[in-house]
Chain A
Amino acid sequence: MKVGVVTFPGSLDDHDAARAVVAAGAQAISLWHADSDLKQVDAVILPGGFSYGDYLRCGAISRFAPVMGSVIERANSGMPLLGICNGFQILCESHLLPGALTRNEGLHFLCKPQKISIENNSTAWTNGFAENAQILIPLKNGEGSFQCDDATLTQLEGEGRVVARYLGVNPNGSRNLIAGISNARGNIVGLMPHPEHAIDSLTGPSADGLPFFTSLLTSMVGR
């Protein structure tokens, strides 16, 4: 199976995402922001970083990159798509997911191991987790506070689209402690913390992040 990882100018965690894909047993394909060709991948990851320097707003310029036209089109027809951190911001700016990521409540960039619970284990990216699994993966961002209007929040909660929630003290002021959400279909997931940095306890706080990537294989085989 081929999983595309997009590199925008300013992407930082693209190699890490590719490493996680390989660790899960899939093939990582590098996709370039200026090239609309998705190279026949089965799924796409938008990695973390500061694409286009976060100018204007995080993700606001990236959504117009040539590659995003193809990504949006394929995702709308069911291709699994995971946006991590800056990738989540791009998904919101692309209107593939509702809401917005705003400046952390503490106004500082915050990097720490973060406990989260997996609230929905039926998406393409989380089906390998036990229900309400509690995991420890890195959180690292300056603009990770998830915000949306009340109606959207009710809808996300009501439809079980809150994929992951922060445990303990709210690290950034996100509404309802939301760390990740999905679209209604469950193929598109946006996640603020970084599972790709928790695939090996040698370099991360745990190996708890790996099931995000193995889940994808299960969901693709099952289709």
Chain B
Amino acid sequence: MALDTVAIAEKTPNQEQPFAALGLKNDEYQRIREILGRRPSSSELAMYSVMWSEHCSYKSSKVHLKQFGEKAPHSDALLVGIGENAGVVDVGQGYAVTFKIESHNHPSFIEPYQGAATGIGGIVRDILTMGARPIAVMDPLRFGRADAPDTRRVLPGIVAGIGGYGNCLGLPNIGGEILFDETYAGNPLVNALCVGVMRHDQIKLAKASGPGNLVVLFGAKTGGDGIGGVSVLASETFGSTGPAKRPSVQVGDPFTEKVLIECSLEIFAEDLVVGIQDLGGAGLSCATSELASGGSGGMQVALDTVPLRDPSLSPEEILMSESQERMCAIVEPGKIARFLEICKKWDVTVTVIGEVTDGDRLIITWHGEVIVDVPPRTVAHEGPVYNRPFSEPAYIARANAQVLDLPMPDESEIAAAIVKLMSSPNMADKSWVTSQFDKYVQGNTIQSQPEDSGMVRIDEKTHLGVAISTDANAPWSYLNPYEGAKLALAEAARNIATAGAKPLAVTNCLNFGSPEDPGVMWQFAETVRGLADGCLEMGLPVTGGNVSFYNQTGDVAILPTPVIGVLGVIQDVRSRTPMSFDRAGIDLYLLGETFADFAGSQWAYMHEQRGGQSPQADLQREMRLIELLLECQKLFVAAHDLSQGGLAATLSEMVLRNGIGAQIQLTQDLATALFSETPGRVVVAIDPKNSVALQEMSQKYQIVLTKIGVTGGESLTINNAVISLTALGDAFMSTFPKLFG
């Protein structure tokens, strides 16, 4: 292909261009022509097409996402908000914490190992880019039915990819979720969260300011992998025939990333950069246009200086390549020598590819000829915005009207029912997965799976720590996306508080079907509205997030799956409350009331019923519960949230954790007491001598308190039903090994 330059583009206005194949609609192409006053060169077309893709431009979601700003609660903790690579939160003692979730769903279906691995790589670079040392990762995952043949292909590959990359980076994996539902067949969800820590004065931003400053590319060389990954993979629904798109999936090298992390942290420590951006989706197109937009706008880059793994790459391909493990920094000329020296120490390839200029144009040359000359904001931030039509889908009324018909086991049947529930793939022990992840590295992991939240220490002397939980209840979001988002937020916050950490801030990863379907768009709009309202009510700012659309095969969209991550701070990690008790003779109490909330429950899912009405979120009550948990923390021997699987699951998980049984007495109808999933409930274990104090607190915070039993023995006994820990444990532990070897 002959080189297409800006000069040629000016002379050949009528040349046909393959904008449709690059994912651009006709009106989008026309807008590019308007912006430039001519047809784009092929390199410009490549840049606009990737940057204006759904994945990079948020063109369908923007109009809704702005609610996170409009409804933002006042927060003293927020240091950097939405719009940067990741939000930054003040956690005290001069520390700032940054955290974010991203999706890597589509690549992980095509190529499970590499898709999941580079998902970790990408989110870790986002955190690093803020100036922070990455300190932990988490992975919320969703798959099709556990016994489906394709799940056996994608799940082991995705788990191995997360482990293969994350373990090699030396990042503890401290939590996540794994749930199955047939709607995820063909559209597995691989969300990856990373958290990092830095001092306040170390925060870095993506901006190229100061004319004369150098544009420096460092890290891996650029290859042909992932070209068009963003536009082609993440923004198009898979045809049910499954096109062969393997070359579009990026291939990761965690060793290169580990070295890049250490090299970057050394560079940050010496304050050698003005601005920095990682190269992820849309590669150099994104990094150059975002850096230039973040500054005064002017930048000149000589694209032929980019080091290549494959010398045959065309300039368009270099601009679009999503080769992993690359960073782009803006460096003052006086500091470049030291910058290069540190890169040399770490054997990191580094090249000065351009400089910041006066003016407001991003100009990219190829062996001296201008191939790109654009206002960078039009590429990075002024992409198309769609007000896509949305309307309540027909299934909502139908599903909400459905009356559930579920077996309600009595005392003689309850033991078998609990064993069956706990051996179901959604509820079963996940250590087949989590044992493939390093949770000890860095030596600061206080809690990890299967605890309610992940917790890491950030200061060894003061014992300051942070806790994070990610939660989504897709079956509730399916029935009522507005309430579903609020309920997921409440659950994530509660999971932080059970351990004794105070919720501070929110991130999210919103996984949905096609935005071109008005019903899906309605689910999305309702979810964002619910989350924004919920965050405002709970006083928790949204620091950033990610939207993944087009998770659907043919007409079948995934359940709306807004994964909500809440970060909290704990002043002394030594005082955290674990999920289970370590001794007999401790009293067990239930905080919160139980109603017949079976819609969207695991009990309903096991009996293949999706209908009914989701619970309503009562966030005022959730906040009182959280305050109670934090104020009473010293009283608790253990505290464990109730969520999927209800009280049956919570009690089973508690007794199996340390192999200490419990005798439970319930007065309510047993099936409701055990399998209902009424939100806002926690089981706490306290020394009997503290019962009066707990009762006083329950009155103070108006949270219903019920004594349900006492710890001890080698069984979980409920009224007269006895389940031996051995039988329960065998059922709980054997599901994953049986399914996945």
Give residues in A with beta carbon < 8 Å to B: 9-10, 12-13, 15-16, 19, 34, 49-50, 52-55, 108-112, 138, 140, 142, 194, 196-197, 202-204
Contacts and interface: CB of A to CB of B under 8 A. Distances in A.
B443 interface: yes
Given A197-B441, A203-B440, 16 more contacts: A9-B259, A9-B262, A10-B255, A10-B258, A12-B170, A15-B443, A53-B258, A55-B255, A108-B163, A109-B437, A111-B436, A112-B435, A140-B167, A140-B438, A140-B440, A203-B457
Contacts of B411: none
A55 B262 CA distance: 19
B254 to A, nearest CB: 7
A76 to B, nearest CB: 29
B435 to A, nearest CB: 5
Contact of B255 (A13, A52, A111): A52
Interface string B565-579: 000000001100000
Interface centre among A53, A111, A138, A197 (most CB of B within 10 A): A111
Nearest to B437: A111
Nearest to B262: A9
B435 A111 contact: yes
Nearest to A204: B440
Interface centre among A13, A19, A109, A112 (most CB of B within 10 A): A109
B701 interface: no
B255 A50 contact: yes
Interface string B434-448: 111111111111100
Contacts of A112: 431, 435
A19 B461 CA distance: 12
B574 A202 contact: yes
Contacts of B259: 9-10
Given A9-B259, A109-B436, A111-B439, A203 B168 contact: no
Nearest to A9: B259
Contacts of A19: 443, 460
A16 B436 contact: no
Nearest to B456: A203
A16 B170 CA distance: 11
B160 interface: yes
The 6 closest A-B pairs by CB, nearest first: A53-B255, A12-B170, A197-B440, A16-B443, A50-B168, A138-B440
Interface centre among A15, A197, A203, A204 (most CB of B within 10 A): A203
Contacts of A138: 440
B258 A108 contact: no
Interface in B392-450: 431, 434-446
B258 to A, nearest CB: 6
B618 interface: no
A203 B443 contact: yes
Contacts of B169: 12
B254 A53 contact: yes
A49 B168 CA distance: 7
B191 to A, nearest CB: 21
A16 B255 contact: no
14 contacts: A12-B168, A15-B442, A53-B258, A54-B255, A109-B436, A111-B434, A112-B435, A140-B438, A202-B446, A202-B573, A202-B574, A203-B445, A203-B446, A204-B440
A19 B457 CA distance: 14
B164 interface: yes
Contacts of B386: none
B253 interface: yes
Contact of B167 (A55, A109, A194, A202): A109
Contact of B168 (A13, A16, A53, A196): A53
Contacts of A52: 255
A50 B258 contact: yes
B11 to A, nearest CB: 49
Contacts of A108: 160, 163, 435-436
Contacts of B258: 9-10, 12, 50, 53
B347 interface: yes
Contacts of B439: 111
A5 B164 CA distance: 25
Contacts of A15: 442-443
A12 B134 CA distance: 13
A34 B346 CA distance: 10
Contacts of A12: 168-170, 258, 441
Contacts of B445: 203
Given A110-B436, A111-B436, A203-B457, A9 B255 contact: yes
A34 B457 CA distance: 31
A9 B346 contact: yes
Contacts of B441: 12-13, 16, 140, 197
Nearest to A196: B443
Nearest to B259: A9
Contacts of A55: 255
A9 B347 contact: yes
Contacts of A140: 167, 438, 440-441
Interface in B220-272: 253-256, 258-259, 262
A203 B444 contact: yes
Interface centre among B347, B436, B443, B445 (most CB of A within 10 A): B443
Contacts of A194: 440
A142 B159 CA distance: 14
Contacts of B460: 19
Contacts of B457: 202-203
Contacts of B164: 109
Contacts of A34: 345
B448 to A, nearest CB: 10
A13 B442 CA distance: 7
Interface string B152-168: 00000000100110011
A103 to B, nearest CB: 13
A216 B439 CA distance: 27
A109 B163 contact: yes
Contacts of B574: 202
A221 to B, nearest CB: 26
B259 to A, nearest CB: 5
A15 B345 CA distance: 19
A49 to B, nearest CB: 7
A53 B168 CA distance: 8
A200 B437 CA distance: 21
B481 to A, nearest CB: 37
A44 B516 CA distance: 61
A10 B262 CA distance: 9
A111 B440 CA distance: 8
Contacts of B434: 111
Contacts of A203: 440, 443-446, 457
A111 B438 CA distance: 6
Contacts of B436: 108-111
